[in-house]
Homo-oligomer: A and B are copies of this chain.
């Protein structure tokens, strides 16, 4: 039989990777809950009528489609089969697809449960999503998103809360050097007006979004290629290079700005003022006039977080939108603002910076070892006492040489081993071995429990 393999772009997460992922997810979940966000889970499969048309043509191509059960060809038009038209046949033989992001299912949930939901609705959702992208380094076909959104309010308090949540997550993860870049679609609109972008706003935003990757020269070249004049480009980079504190930047832009930017400047100022009123500050927060976040559906404030000195790009991003349920044709305006943390990127950053808790802290704490049948039996009582004290403990279940048991403890990064033989059973003085140090001393069970509690 052939050796089994994983579908490309997918991964297993073994004990260490999973413990570390749980560590990150627990931090994020803890912060979301402390800020009043309630959990939601939606099914992995959605009807394709819900998913199609929500992510653009490219997105439709990247949806994983699930074959209808049973004799799916029964009602297929023969011409679809003979014509070898994969796309047309898909709509006949597949009604369901895998979740592509967490926002569309959230919007679908809100529409279907509108009358039970208390607005403003703060929900968080941490689930895998699937995209039939070409797999490459750091890009997978299955990955987790960790989203929090508030809908049903225009209040800028929510923007402040998102900044506070980002700060809490990074504080709990032990990351000190990071930047929360913020901007506003109206500020971008104002800049577009100031450089006479006319109807080419989209081109402009897409280009300046690449500043990090291709630099000023690259962006100039790209826009010049679209027919932008030297004068326009000089003016653009004069604005984008406004220096100073966040307030300085906003004041400067306000002086030169058009009416278009007014609301955006006002919103950003208010968010900074609210942070101050909360007793926090704009530390880690940088108004970045070049932050555009593509041609997304954002209509107000936008956010993006980068960890200083880390190889990966943004580890979190989000923004304000005017109507969550618009794509479903809902007439009720449900404005909101959301943030998404990328679990894989946070994992890579913590790994790169060496900020994960020690592997021994994530594994079993104590392995009970024994040298014969009687000490195995005796060890069961020790095991029981450890677990009753809340200690993660296990016993080596087979009668094998002590060396094999200790090798197992090392391989599983277990912190301590308790070694029991005839002498230890008689004296009650058990062997207590620190696996990392390789040192062993005699201790009573009570003393061991005391030690582990401390």
Q: Which residues of A come within 8 Å of B, CB atoms?
A: 1-7, 10-15, 18-19, 21-22, 33-36, 38-47, 49-50, 61-62, 64-67, 69-74, 76, 78, 81-82, 84-86, 89-90, 93-96, 98, 108-109, 111-113, 116, 118-120, 122-123, 128, 130, 132, 141-142, 150, 153-155, 157-158, 160-161, 274, 277-280, 328-329, 363-364, 367, 376-377, 380-381, 383-384, 387, 390-398, 407-408, 411-412
Contact = CB atoms under 8 A, between A and B. Distances in A.
Contact of A112 (B3, B41, B82, B123): B3
Contacts of A128: 44
A390 to B, nearest CB: 7
A14 B113 contact: yes
A404 to B, nearest CB: 10
Given A44-B98, A81-B82, A39 B18 contact: yes
A44 B73 CA distance: 25
B90 A67 contact: yes
Given A36-B367, A120-B397, 4 more contacts: A14-B40, A73-B85, A76-B84, A120-B408
Contact of A66 (B35, B66, B363, B395): B66
Contacts of A7: 43, 45-47, 95-96
A84 B94 contact: no
Secondary structure of the A side of the interface? mixed
A409 to B, nearest CB: 9
Contact of A89 (B34, B73, B278, B393): B73
A13 B112 CA distance: 12
A382 B117 CA distance: 26
A3 B329 CA distance: 9
A12 B125 CA distance: 12
Contacts of A130: 44-45
A98 B277 contact: no
Nearest to A93: B67
A40 B65 contact: no
Contact of A40 (B18, B62, B85, B109): B18
Contacts of A64: 45, 66-67, 69
A29 to B, nearest CB: 9
28 contacts: A1-B328, A1-B329, A3-B112, A4-B108, A5-B50, A5-B112, A6-B47, A6-B112, A7-B43, A11-B43, A13-B42, A19-B39, A35-B394, A36-B367, A36-B393, A45-B130, A61-B69, A64-B67, A65-B67, A66-B67, A67-B90, A69-B132, A82-B82, A118-B407, A157-B395, A277-B380, A277-B381, A279-B381
